[in-house]
Amino acid sequence: MKTNLSVELGKLKLNNPVMVASGTFGYAEEFRDFMDLKKLGAIVTKTITLKPRKGNPSPRTCETTGGMLNSIGLENPGLENFIKDKLPFLKKLSIPIIISVASEEEPEEFLELVSRLNKIAEVAAIELNISCPNVQGKDGLIAQDPESTYRIVQEVRKITDKTLITKLSPNVTSIGKVAKSAEEAGSDAVSLINTLSGMSIDVQRRKPKIASGVAGLSGPAIRPVAVRMVWEVFKKVKIPIIGMGGIMDADSALEFIIVGASAVSVGTANFINPKTSLEILSGLKEYLIRNKITEIKELIGSLKV
Amino acid sequence: MKTFQLKAKILAQTKIKGNCWHCELNAPQVARSSLPGQFINIRVGDNLDPFLRRPISIHSVSGTKASILYEVVGKATEILTQKKKGDFLDVIGPLGSGFNYPKPKTQNPKPILVAGGMGVAPLIFLAGKLTEVESKKSKVKTLVLIGAKSKEHLLCVQEFKKLGCAVKIATDDGSAGFKGKVSDLLKYLLSTIDYRLSTIYACGPKPMLKAVADISNERQISAQLSLEEHMSCGIGACLGCVVKTKDGLKRACKEGPVFLAKDLVW
C-alpha cells in the first residue's frame, strides 16, 4: 500500500512529519553516526543567540521519574560562529533546516538575528524561541504574555518571508491565548510545548540538583500536559502546530497528530536512543498501512470526541 | 572517528569484590576502535526507569570483546548487575577523547598512573598500551599508584603487576601500603625521584583529581585527568556535562573526559 506522509507548515513542505526538537539534537552533526539524517522531516537547531553564550553553571541536568530537568541556559557559539562552523554541515543535508533563535536581553535582538538569517537561502524556517524557561529576560518570558508575543512576532514578520514558527511555553494560564496572538501577528506555525518549569532537590545537601535551581522538565512525564495543550491550541488557531513533549515512540507521536499537530518533534528521546526519530517514522508508516489510511494528513486533528 | 550503537551480548558478569562488578561484552566495533580513557554509554533497561543511559569507562578490550569495571552506586548500576550472560545491552561507543599516550617507537616519558577507587577502571586499559611501548624500550617501568579506603577496597593490583607495572598502594586507614590519600603518596614519591619527563595519568574522585592537578601544576609536570561528570546524552548534543577550562566550557563527553590538568579551572 502506498502511503503519503508529507505535511505542510505554512508554505514549507516536509516529506514527513517527524522533526527533531531544538536543544536535543545539537547541530545534527552529533547524530551523523547513528542515522541517515536526510530521512528526517526537518531539523530544528539548538537555539542561537546574537552573541556567543556560555550558558548556566553545572550541574545542568538531572534525571527525574520518566524524564529529566535541564538548565543549559542556551549555551551556543553565537550567530556568526554558527553560520561559519555549524551551518555548512546542515546545508548539505538538503532537508528543511529550521534555525531556532532567542534574544538575551532585548527583544530587538530577534530582528537582527532574523534579518541575517533571512539572507541565507538554505534556512527553511525560523523558530522564535520566546519560551526558554532557563533564560529569563527582565520581564519574564515573552511567551508568557500574549501582547509581548504579538509584538515580537509582528515585528519579525515585517522583515522576513521565511516560514516563521513561534515556540510556546507551557508555563502559562492559557496557552491558547498566546497561540492566538502568534497567529494574529503573522506566525506561520506554532510549536509546543517547551519544557515545564520544575525543580528537584538533593535532600542530603538540601540543595537543588541543578545549579541554577529551577530548570525545564522534559520527557514522557510531561506528555499528557503537552497533548492537552496541543488539543487546546488546535481548537483555537488555524495555523499548523508542531507538537512535542515526551515523544518516545510512534504511538506517542500519533497522540499529538490526532489532537491536531501537523508535525511532531522528538526531543529528550534523542538522548536515550539517538535514532528514535527514524524509528517513529517507520512506526507511523506501519500505522497508516495497518489502518488503511493513505495520507497522514487525514489523521491531523482526527480525535473522536 | 566513528561511534556505534549496538546490541552487545553479555559474555560474562562477575562480582569482583564488595560492590564492584566486571562485565564483558561482545562489541566488535567498539572493541576494535576504543582507546584508553574513552567510555561507552549503556542503556541498562528497556523501560523508562532509569531514564537516561549510564556512561562507564572502557576497562579493557580484546579482539571483539570490550569490558567494563563498575561499582554499584544506585538503581541503574544495581539493575546492571542483574543482567546475565547471554543478555543484551544497548551500547553506544566508543565515546569521548581519551588519554594521549606515547605510541611505540616514540620516547617514553616515564608514565605515572594515579588511581583512586574505581579510577583503576580506565587506567588498566592505558597501562596495557604503555607497557607495549616499554617492552620495545628501556627499563623504565610504568609506575602505578592505587588508592582505596582500605585493603579490602583495593582493585586491580595484580592486573597492573601482571602488565609489568611497578605498583604502590595507599589506603586511608593504612591497612595496606602508605597510610593516607593516594595524592599524598604521589607528592611523597615525587620528592624522591627525578620527575622531569614524567607524565601523570589520573582517574578517581574529584577531590583526588583536584589534588593531583595542584601537585602536577606546581611542579610543571604534564598531567592528564579523566573526569567523571554527570551526563545526559553522552554524544555532545545536550551540553549538560560541560567543565570549566581556561579555554572556556568543554563537554566532558566529547572534548573530555580526559583533560590536561593545566587547562582545568576548578
Residues 6 or more apart whose CB falls under 8 angstroms from that of A80 comprise none
Beta-strand relationship, A12-14 and A7-9: antiparallel
What is the average pLDDT across A38-59?
96
Residues of B with CB under 8 A from a CB of A: 2-5, 43, 48-53, 90, 92, 229-230, 232-243, 248-249
Residues of B in contact with A46 (CB under 8 A): 239
Q: How far apart are CA A275 and CA A190, in angstroms?
A: 25
Residue B59 near residue B67, CB atoms below 8 Å: yes
Residue A277 near residue A265, CB atoms below 8 Å: no
Residues of B in contact with A72 (CB under 8 A): 238-240
Residues of B in contact with A65 (CB under 8 A): 49, 51
Write out the H or E segment, with its range, that includes residue B78.
helix B75-81
Phi, psi of A304 (to 5 degrees): -90, 115
User: Tell me: the pLDDT tens digits for B138-196?
Assistant: 566 899 999 999 999 999 999 999 999 999 999 999 999 999 999 999 999 999 988 88
Q: How far apart are CA B36 and CA B261, in angstroms?
A: 17
Please indicate if any CB of chain B lies within 8 Å of the CB of A24.
Answer: yes
Q: How far apart are CA B253 and CA B38, in angstroms?
A: 9
Look at residue B46 in the predicted model and tell me its pLDDT.
Answer: 85
Q: Is A132 a catalytic residue?
A: yes
ipTM reported for the complex, 2 dp: 0.93
B94 upstream amide cis, omega within 30 of 0: yes
Look at residue B139 in the predicted model and tell me its pLDDT.
Answer: 62
What is the average pLDDT across A272-278?
98
3-class secondary-structure state, position B184:
helix
Fold observed for domain A7-299: TIM Barrel (3.20.20)
DSSP A18: E
Question: In Å, how far is B58's CA from the nearest CA of chain A?
Answer: 19
- The DSSP-derived string for B197-257 is T-EEEEES-HHHHHHHHHHHHHHT-EEEEE-----SSSSSSS--SEEEETTEEEETTTT-B
**Under an 8 A CB cutoff, do B233 and A220 touch?**
no
Roughly what angle, to the nearest 10 degrees, separates helices A250-258 and A223-236?
30
3-class secondary-structure state, position A134:
coil
Cα R_g (chain A), whole angstroms:
18
User: Tell me: the pLDDT tens digits for B246-265?
Assistant: 999 999 999 999 999 999 99
Residues of A in contact with B230 (CB under 8 A): 59, 61-62
Q: Report whether pLDDT(B135) > 80.
A: no
The CA dihedral of A51, A193, A34, A32, to the nearest 10 degrees, is: -30
Q: Report whether pLDDT(B137) > 60.
A: no
Q: How far apart are CA A179 and CA A181, in angstroms?
A: 5
Look at residue B141 in the predicted model and tell me its pLDDT.
Answer: 82
Chain A and chain B share a number of CB contacts under 8 A equal to: 89
Write out the H or E segment, with its range, that includes residue B122.
helix B120-135
Residues 6 or more apart whose CB falls under 8 angstroms from that of B68 comprise B22, B23, B25, B40, B42, B56, B57, B58, B59, B121
Look at residue A137 in the predicted model and tell me its pLDDT.
Answer: 66
Residue B58 near residue B128, CB atoms below 8 Å: no
Task: Give me the residues paired with residue B43 across strands.
Answer: B90
Percent of chain B with pLDDT over 70: 95
Please indicate if any CB of chain B lies within 8 Å of the CB of A273.
Answer: yes
C-alpha cell at B150: 582500605
Look at residue B1 in the predicted model and tell me its pLDDT.
Answer: 81
B104 — pLDDT class (breaks 50, 70, 90):
low
Query: May I ask the CATH architecture of the domain B4-95?
Result: Beta Barrel (2.40)
> Domain limits of chain B?
4-95, 111-263
CATH number for the domain whose boundaries are B111-263: 3.40.50.80
Across chain A, what does the average pLDDT equal? 96
Task: Give me the residues paired with residue A62 across strands.
Answer: A69
Classify burial at A114, counting beta carbons within 10 Å of its beta carbon; exposed 0-12, middle 13-18, buried 19 or more: buried
